[in-house]
Amino acid sequence: MKRNGSVSLVTLGPVDPMMSRKQAARAAVSVGSAVSAVVANRRPRVEGDRETEILDAAVRVLADVGYDRLTMDTVALEARASKATLYRRWQNKATLVVDAVSRAKGIPPPDMPSTGSLRGDLLVSWCGREGWSSTLPMSVMGGLMTALHTDEVLGAAFREIFLRPRQALARRVFENALERGEIADGVDLDLMMSLLPAVCVHQEFVLNRTLDDAFVERVIDTVVLPACRAQPAATQTGAKPVRNVRSAK
């Protein structure tokens, strides 16, 4: 904008009338750079160790109070951070919680290496400090159970970010076992993949009983592996189809 024969920039205010156009342009660049630096300093990225501390705090709060009672304020207090810091990195508590659970210590990662056997792969992913039978994962999952069915945003984020890569890993484990001949032809892999999680969730949340490595190993040896080796009824010679049974009224 021209004013009294000199250049004036809205962001700079009136310019010294003795300042040349070239000097004014240089001043604008200098001030613009300074403003950018200030803005960057005011909104630092949350990453590295600080991000890990916040995610760990979110997991602790989730395990303690559950998803419904968890707030950005409680996580910020636990992490000794400001709520504004959390919102710079996570849009809402759903994205924060899913990110935290996906990368929580003790939660089996989606890229675990193969042991060369179905039994070994299942034991590695379910037992020990990094397995599902450890205390933290199931307490965290318990805090999410109800909310996953009532909060659409949380449910969608959880399925996409958390479940999808782990389901892909489980399918790879069972498909590799099928190629090695550990699983009979015709066996429903989706059904086999759901056996161990279903029994363990029933043990922990329905029966309220201890879920430990011994229980997981027993389920693998007496339920999952025998089911994988069983010949499906549809492929058995002379097998009769199952009738649709309805309860009597």
Could you give the angle at which helices 48-65 and 93-102 cross, rounded to 10 degrees?
A: 100
Q: What is the pLDDT of residue 207?
A: 86
Average pLDDT over the chain reads: 76
**CB neighbourhood size of 224 (10 A):** 20
pLDDT range class, residue 240, cuts 50, 70, 90:
low
Q: 96-105, 117-126, 168-177 — which is least confidently predicted?
A: 96-105
Of the ranges 106-120, 165-179, 213-227, the best mean pLDDT one: 213-227
Go through the chain and tell me how many residues it has.
249
Domains and CATH numbers, the chain: 48-102 (1.10.10.60), 118-232 (1.10.357.10)
The alpha carbon of residue 55 and the mean position of all alpha carbons in its chain are separated, in whole angstroms, by 11
CA 90-96-101 angle, 5° bins = 150
Give the residue from 37, 172, 42 showing the smallest Cα distance to 118: 172
Q: What is the pLDDT of residue 218?
A: 96
Per-residue pLDDT at 153 exceeds 50:
yes
Q: What is the pLDDT of residue 131?
A: 53
pLDDT range class, residue 61, cuts 50, 70, 90:
very high
Helix (H, G, I), strand (E, B) or coil at 9: strand
Could you give the angle at which helices 189-201 and 118-126 cross, rounded to 10 degrees?
A: 30
Query: In whole angstroms, how far apart are CA 166 and each of 23, 125, 162, 193, 210?
Result: 60, 10, 7, 11, 24
Per-residue pLDDT at 193 exceeds 80:
yes
Query: In whole angstroms, how far apart are CA 218 and each of 50, 127, 197?
Result: 40, 12, 13
**Residues 193-212, mean pLDDT to the nearest whole number:** 86
